[in-house]
Amino acid sequence: MNLILFTFIVLLGFTSYYFGRRKAYTIQSTKKRLTALPQFYGYYLAIWCAIPAFIIFSLWAIFEPTIVKLLILSDYSNQGYLDDELNLLYEKSKALSRGQFTGEITPFIEASAEKYLSLRSIAQSSKVVIVLSAIIASVAYAYKRISSNSRTREPVEKFLNAVLFTASLAAILTTVGIVFSLIFQTIDFFKVIPLFDFVFGTHWYPAKAFVRDSSEALDPTMYSDTFGAVPIFAGTFFIAFIAMCVAIPIGLMSGIYLAEYASTKVRQYAKPLIEILAGIPTVVYGFFAALTVGPFLKELGTSMGLEVSAESALAAGGVMGIMIIPFISSLSDDVITSVPQSLRDGSYAMGATKSETIKRVIFPAALPGIVGSILLGVSRAIGETMIVVMASGLAANLTLNPLESTSTITAQIVVILIGDQAFGDPKTQAAFALGMSLFLVTLCLNIVALRVVKKYREKYE
């Protein structure tokens, strides 16, 4: 029903557009000059069709269920029911009206279900009537206005402005919402676990919290020495560091090769090939790390008399580095290519060789962009989850030995939130606290990146 109505409104919109434009042509044929191009008249009418429909639809969606519920429950008022019981009654009659109710059907519920159905159909038909009459009224009003050749361009532009503003507002509000939910859960978490223990504790063992019997009262002392985040922060930065050790030199050098040395033909094939690396899902990298690189490193290490864990930070970090190569190479390639040719010419004309030109002129000029690409790579490395979960184990060891296994913030969030979770439990809230810390770290990184870029830009441009 709603779909038919919606289609009909869309059709009405198109018709109003057509009428608006025709009106404009009529005005034009009387040798009067139009105040805007004919299609603006069309858009103007279509907007007058869309706005009332949209407003009524959204009001209906917000208020209809509440009003129906009130009307049904008014039968039961003054009979001494509790709020919860009333809600249950309402849900039961709703389910019955859809034929999904399986429990015992009492006459009361049956009567309510019938009433629910009749109310819904009344609501539905009144909605159709109201929407259509509102549209017709508003379009008629607008049509009358444009016949006097009034302004239509400005309202259309304003409408577009409002639509675009709403879209960006939605994006911002969502972000703010997510951040606030993180903040509140984090605050709850720190009510149970002292901030000091979280930031400076060196023992991360959330499994201890799993075994708690939920009927027991919450005992904060039980969690001491459970949520010390130092090992996983150390692990996160350690693995990111290994990844960047792989990604920065290879990415940067391949970027320079593509931008400065490669012939057009090589570049044409090599660049998309490198960018394919960026398109491989991280899960694939994950099992590549876990099933190929990890065991290979272990064998290699054993043959050299080293003790290597099958799930090592080196395997995860190395594969993560390979994953990040295309980001750095592709971005730095773009940045280097965008350094003006006149600077290259100037350097070559002084007798500089290619490598001198790159080292002394192009690289410094491209540095802000290169730093930006590297920091972007670091953010990726810190936020990467799948490879670590699969290849570096889940035990949060505090170690700086790349041959042992460590864990990261993201991997721990996965561990905590897999399976059943209870809200309001410190174990679940720990995930929010970790998410919050991750968010803060990435935020700081971005701020630093912006600062660095700005500083160099002032110096070089």
Sign of the Cα torsion 243, 249, 254, 256 reads positive
Q: In this structure, what token pair is assigned to residue 369?
A: 């962009």
Report the residue number, 194 or 364, with the smaller CB distance to other proteins: 364
| Distance (Å, whole) CA 407 – CA 444 | 22
Identify the CA nearest to 408 among candidates 423, 420, 418, 398: 398
Identify the CA nearest to 427 among candidates 439, 437, 412: 412
Minimum CB–partner distance for residue 450 and other proteins (Å): 20
User: Would you call 421 helix, strand, or coil by DSSP?
Assistant: coil
Instruction: Tell me the Cα Rg of the chain.
Output: 32
Report the residue number, 301 or 364, with the smaller CB distance to other proteins: 364
Q: In this structure, what token pair is assigned to residue 459?
A: 């110096």
348 binds other proteins per the rule CB under 8 A: yes
273 binds other proteins per the rule CB under 8 A: no
Minimum CB–partner distance for residue 339 and other proteins (Å): 9
Identify the CA nearest to 174 among candidates 162, 182, 185: 182
296 binds other proteins per the rule CB under 8 A: no
Q: Could you say which of 103, 279, 351, 424 contacts other proteins (CB under 8 A)? A: 351
Minimum CB–partner distance for residue 365 and other proteins (Å): 5
Report the residue number, 21 or 344, with the smaller CB distance to other proteins: 344
In the chain the first and final C-alpha atoms are separated, in Å, by 61
353 binds other proteins per the rule CB under 8 A: yes
336 binds other proteins per the rule CB under 8 A: no
361 binds other proteins per the rule CB under 8 A: yes
Contact 204, 444 (CB under 8 A): no
Minimum CB–partner distance for residue 207 and other proteins (Å): 55
350 binds other proteins per the rule CB under 8 A: yes
Map tokens 């038909």 to a residue: 125
345 binds other proteins per the rule CB under 8 A: yes
Neighbours of 297 (CB within 10 A): 21
Report the residue number, 219 or 458, with the smaller CB distance to other proteins: 458
Residues 121-180 within binding reach of other proteins (CB under 8 A): none
Q: Which stretch binds other proteins (CB under 8 A): 179-187, 324-332, 344-352, 438-446?
A: 344-352
Question: DSSP state, 223?
Answer: G
In the complex, the residues that contact other proteins under the rule CB under 8 A are: 263-264, 340, 342-353, 356, 360-361, 364-365, 459-461
